[in-house]
Structure formats: C-alpha cells, structure tokens
Amino acid sequence: MTEQTRVAAGSERRNRSTLIRLVVSAFLMFGFGYALVPFYEKLCQVLDVNNLNKQDNTLPLNTQIDRSRNVTVEFDANLHKLPWNFKPVTGSLVVHPGEVVTVEYEVSNTRENAVTGQAIPSYTPSAAMQYFQKLDCFCFKQQTLAAGETRRMPIAFLVSPDLPKDINTITLSYTFFEVPGATAATTQDGRTGG
C-alpha cells in the first residue's frame, strides 16, 4: 500500500465518521424538538401556566355586557353628490351595552366607471359618540367601486356600558362623499379599495 493510498483511506474514514456524526446529531436534534411539545404541555399543566386544556366554566363568556339594559341603535345612510345607492341592511337593532354587534350597509355604484368614496359617521345624540366604539368599519378607509358594482360592507361595534342611563336610542348615520382624483390613481395601479 502506497503512502497516497493510506492517506486517501484515512481521509475516507474521517469523512465517513463525520457524516455519521452529522446524521446522528440531526436525528437527535429532531427527536429533541419533537419531544419538547409534550414536555412543554406537561410542564405548563403541572405549573398551571398557559394551560390551554384547562376548562373554566365558572366565568360567563363576557362579563362586560349589561344584560339589564337595552339600547336601540338606528342606522341611516346619506350620499353627498355621489352616484351611488347606499342603505343599511338593517334599519335598527336593540343591543345590550358591552355586546359586540355586526351590521351591514349595502352600496352600489350607478356610474359607468369606477368611483371612490369615503364614509363619514355622525351620531345622534352627539353625546353618544364617545360611548359608541367601532371595532371594524368600512369608514376606516376609502372604498372604490367598479362600474355597476354592489357591495355589502360590515361594521362591528359595541355601545359602552358607561353610556349615560338617559340615552336609550342612538342614531348612527353615514354620509358618503366622493374622493376627487382617488379613483384615477387607484385604477392606474390596478387596485381597488376593499
């Protein structure tokens, strides 16, 4: 056996040994990561921390809802020089303060081209505004409707339990205004508001 052959054989053994160590290390790391999930769940259960399996049926779903009180919320829709049809799907709703409610407005573009509008809310009585909390609303951003497009747009809200007792009816009114120049910029990008 020549010196060169011995060096090549020694190098091959070291390479094979390194490969085996890498494969075993990768297998052990995978096994350790796999074993961590049940270990973590058991540790959380023992320490009663972040225990997702624990069921606590002693608390009501939402303690913030004042079920002893009803508030009527009326919905109104107006347009300001905008070629759309705009109306609430529901005219009014009776809610409990603290209860999360979702309603929809329907809007249609009657023009032959895309139009962008922005809805501005108003409240009656005006004192109710600070107690009317919108969680999601089409009024948060501009809306672009294609020619002839009809869309239903949701609003999720709650009336604060701190609403003064003498306010039993709130009117939420939206007025849609056209946003000049916004439609041209939107259609050039190829995107529409949602």
Average pLDDT, the chain: 83
Give pLDDT tens digits for 47-92: 666 544 444 444 444 557 888 899 999 999 999 888 899 999 999 9
Query: What is residue 4's predicted lDDT score, i.e. its pLDDT?
Result: 78
191: pLDDT confidence band, cut at 50, 70 and 90? very low
Superfamily of 71-189 according to CATH = Ctag/Cox11 (2.60.370.10)
* 128 three-class SS: helix
* Both tokens assigned to 94: 């009776």
Q: What's the whole-model pTM score?
A: 0.60
Does 98 or 40 have the greater pLDDT score? Answer: 98
* Both tokens assigned to 181: 């120049």
Rounded Cα distance, 5 and 2, in Å: 5
Give pLDDT tens digits for 167-176: 999 999 999 9
Across the chain, where does the E strand assignment appear? 71-80, 84-88, 92-95, 101-109, 115-124, 132-137, 143-145, 150-159, 169-178
- How many CB atoms lie under 10 A from the CB of residue 136? 12
Note whether 57 and 74 are within 8 A (CB): no
CB within 8 Å of 173: residues ≥ 6 apart: 75, 76, 77, 78, 121, 122, 123, 124
13: pLDDT confidence band, cut at 50, 70 and 90? confident
Percent of the chain with pLDDT over 70: 82
Provide the residue ranges of all domains of the chain, joining segments of one domain with +.
1-54, 71-189
